Amino acid sequence: MSKPLSRVLATPQGVVLITVLVFALVLSIINPAFFSVATLIDLLRNSLVTGIFALGVMMVLASGGIDVSCTAIGAFAMYATMKIVLGVDIDLPIFAFFALSALIGAMLGLFNGLLIGILGLPTLIVTLGTLSLYRGVLLTFLGTTYITAVPREIIAFSRKVLVRMENAAGQMVSLPYSFLVLVGVAAVVAILINFTLFGRKIYAIGGSEEAAERIGIRIKRVKVMIYVLAGAIAGLAGMTHVTLSRMANPFDLVGMELNVIAAVVLGGARITGGYGTVTGTLLGVFVITMINTTLLMAGVPSYWQKVVIGGLIIVGTGLPIVIERLSRHRERISRSLSA
């Protein structure tokens, strides 16, 4: 294996990037209509909700935790927001919808954070529990009916587009304003984890909790903050979902969490903590979306999408580890030879 190639394959992002390129190439050979700006716009639009969720989950993973409850928080926040707004019956700007949804999400995230940070319970157990809890409370107390008569601010917002163009087949393709939510969340998360002390603390805790505590980081407080933030982001994802689908369905979103986590992991974050970047995560989301929606174009049956994603997770996260081990092994051998 040549040096540059092995270096690219040594990181999950590298594997993912190569997969994207190979995938796009194969698809465009099978179906030339694939290789176009219109396809790119569609893919971006389809990765919006997963992308927003993933950015929150990435922070949690970087801190050494895992959050499977994000989709339940998103569903709860968006449905509760719709109920409240329709209940009070006053005209609110679209911004208020998002703010309210984020606030509700933050409160649910706070509950996660308190259980995890203050009580020190395992993150997987807590979020598995709250995934079921939030969804149960939503369906039991808030309702099980679809809200199809959404406020006109939402319809108006969902009709606003950043880019609109015709694809080769003469169909309209558009990138909605909701794309800005993803851009905004990505920017905020990037600044937070790269340029603030809080961000460094996240990685420090993810790297080694004990070491972080010894250098004086107040772990409990940071952890609570992380889950509050992840909750707020999940709330934004939920509301974005409403603007895209123009209806609020309380059964939606839950079930996506494994896809979200798969995207984050493919993007280079490690389950063991300490790693994770915004660009990597977005790349991971893009790949997952691409596989989920475009295999159809290549005439691949639905079941195969699961096979491909599973394989990609194992190769994408496993290959870098194997390469790292091999190079360490080689190093050891050469060292003993020179000695």
Partner 1 sequence: MTFNFKKMALGAALGAALLGSAVAISNAQDAKHTIVTVVKLSGIAWFNRMEEGVKQYAADTGQNASQVGPASADAALQVQMIEDLIAKKVDAITVVPNSPEALEPVLAKALGQGIKVVGHEASSLKNVTYDVEAFDNAAYGEHLMEALAKAMGGEGEYAVFVGNLSAKTHNEWVDAAIAYQKAKYPKMKLVADKIESTEQQQVAYQKTKELLRTYPNLKGIQGSAGEDVVGAALAVEEAGLTGKVSIVGTSLVSVSGPYLESGEINMISFWDPAKAGIAMNKVAAMAIEGKEITDGMDLGVEGYNKVRLNGKVIYGQAWVDVTKDNMGEYKF
Nearer to partner 1, 144 or 194 (CB): 144
What's the chain's length in residues?
A: 339
Residue selected from 9, 38, 82, 312 as contacting partner 1 according to rule CB under 8 A = 38
Residue selected from 40, 96, 114, 247 as contacting partner 1 according to rule CB under 8 A = 247
CA pair distance 186, 52, nearest whole angstrom: 8
Nearer to partner 1, 129 or 143 (CB): 143
Nearer to partner 1, 176 or 235 (CB): 176
Sites for partner 1 among residues 295-334 (CB under 8 A): 296-297, 299, 301-303
CA pair distance 239, 79, nearest whole angstrom: 8
Nearer to partner 1, 11 or 292 (CB): 292
Residue selected from 8, 18, 33, 308 as contacting partner 1 according to rule CB under 8 A = 33
Contacts 24+ apart (CB under 8 A), 280-284: 280/12, 280/13, 280/16, 281/51, 281/54, 281/55, 281/58, 282/51, 282/54, 282/55, 282/186, 283/13, 283/16, 283/17, 283/20, 284/12, 284/16, 284/54
8 Å CB contact between 54 and 265: no
8 Å CB contact between 12 and 267: yes
Number of residues that bind partner 1 (CB under 8 A): 40
Residues near 10 by beta carbon (within 8 Å), at least 6 away in sequence: 320, 323, 324, 327
Q: Minimum CB separation from partner 1 for residue 259, in Å?
A: 11
Residue selected from 160, 246, 329, 332 as contacting partner 1 according to rule CB under 8 A = 246
User: Residue 76 class from Cβ within 10 Å (0-12 exposed, 13-18 middle, 19+ buried)?
Assistant: buried
From the list 158, 181, 168, the residue with the least C-alpha distance to 243 is 158
Q: Does 71 bind partner 1 (CB under 8 A)?
A: no
Give 183-202 as a 3 state SS string. HHHHHHHHHHHHHCHHHHHH
User: Residue 242 class from Cβ within 10 Å (0-12 exposed, 13-18 middle, 19+ buried)?
Assistant: buried
Q: Minimum CB separation from partner 1 for residue 24, in Å?
A: 14
Q: Minimum CB separation from partner 1 for residue 263, in Å?
A: 15
Q: Minimum CB separation from partner 1 for residue 39, in Å?
A: 7
8 Å CB contact between 73 and 41: no
Sites for partner 1 among residues 136-195 (CB under 8 A): 140, 144-146, 148-149, 167-174
Residue selected from 13, 19, 46, 243 as contacting partner 1 according to rule CB under 8 A = 46
Residue selected from 294, 313, 316, 317 as contacting partner 1 according to rule CB under 8 A = 294
Sites for partner 1 among residues 47-66 (CB under 8 A): 49
Which residues form the interface with partner 1 (CB under 8 A)? 31, 33-34, 38-39, 42, 46, 49, 140, 144-146, 148-149, 167-174, 241, 244-247, 249, 251-252, 255, 292-294, 296-297, 299, 301-303
